[in-house]
Structure 1
């Protein structure tokens, strides 16, 4: 953690690798043969367990009890907010809204990080961040819908799904901002392990009680090897490793809003993976959208620097 604070570029790199993990989740999810809330349960139960094991293997992070003694109730609430509620409403939103609607709204997490940081820490949102955020969201909508505005507009029946997807983005963003002070005290690995594990248990209970889907070991033994391997990749690469890097990196970067803006690159990375792995082609509209999104993310840095230079 101290190393990340000393070398901010390492922290931003950690966030970017975390985004890579988010962007590749869907590819392995398709191969696993498990979908919906059950996938989230397995992802965070196994991924959270992996984080706990990783913390116990490293001498400096083995004490998982100390954070619970000093911040136990707060960590429990943050686990419920960022994992249990956040990922439950994400999958629930897909029952009401279209995939393009949900994908676009969830990718607005950086905007909600900026708002949460403003409300909680009184950190101002600069003009560069506002302009870059609006441009990035417009580019994401263009990329995901391939120019078909009707795919985003939807109908009155999709309003609940839109609200749930927005709640997901807000919950994950608020968690990222609120957990940062505790990570400063105890380090990213321990706090990520605790919150992911507690949140996974919360998901298991909620999905079992309210959706009637109980994740049991027999479910894993019934999977064929390729499907099981894909699920384990989701758990240990897309959760254990990349969630640690994403949450820890955001806690360490000098500007959490700027760091979170790298999340806007998620659909861009997913589109490029589709080209490289699946051999799909990009349309002219999608290429334009990728240029707009990447330009917005990296342009924010120069806009704010220029604004700061002029004001001084």
Structure 2
């Protein structure tokens, strides 16, 4: 049995039509007949043949790979050198244990090699060591993290950071007028991942309907489970950030956390975010950007670990569409910015 959707929110990626017939397994555009399969009830509203090369690579090898499958652990590990000790100590403990294992295997292997009659036994620790080193080489950002985390923490301990406008301040500035809007708002989170940022940074305090989109099935399934666990209703869609499957002028708020810099075409992604925002609507997105006084170790960590999968490494204000006004870029942490803007009314 199928149901018709004619609310005007969604857009067929092939013909831009707004009407769909849906079942539990597919959405079919009534305009062009293109069928889009569903995963766990979530429609795949994108054309695989149009995906950017970098977007496809990140989806297939990163977010649908080790990083995405263990995202709740991997993300805190990546940022542990720049998080407070009170939050990061379990990951520092794991970091220390990993170094002890690596050194211990090396010492055991060399000792056995130098012991008469024990050379064969040395293959066990040396084989395990080789396997761990190969893993770190294949996942280079983790290898560089092992080398840089401790020196970076030492460097940063002597360089206290205070933002002119903090992460919390930016969100308070944007959220305050939205809470008194006096109408039901429409909120879109682009490249939502596990929906963690959508849920945790104040957006749930709004009188709003929520829509979230991501290209990775692995990540969006985590988001689906998380929001269901929180009891929050959200429309989840598998889709392409540079070809958003939504009609123009649909959302009061368009968000994105940690995605823009890593897309094949960041400028097009921002143009898409602006396109689907209502006139007067707000855009807010966060991503990696070094603070001006970063030193050599900090720059190595930024490029080799934190921003290693990105296409650009700063807020691309130079390529914003003319429709965006009131643009503000705040360096909220040493390695992160938040950009806010408003679509011209």
- Same fold flag (TM > 0.5): no
Relative contact order, CA 8 A, sep 6+: which one is greater? 1
TM-score (norm 1): 0.26
Flag the structure with larger Rg.
Answer: 2
Please identify which structure carries the higher helix content.
1
TM-score (norm 2): 0.25
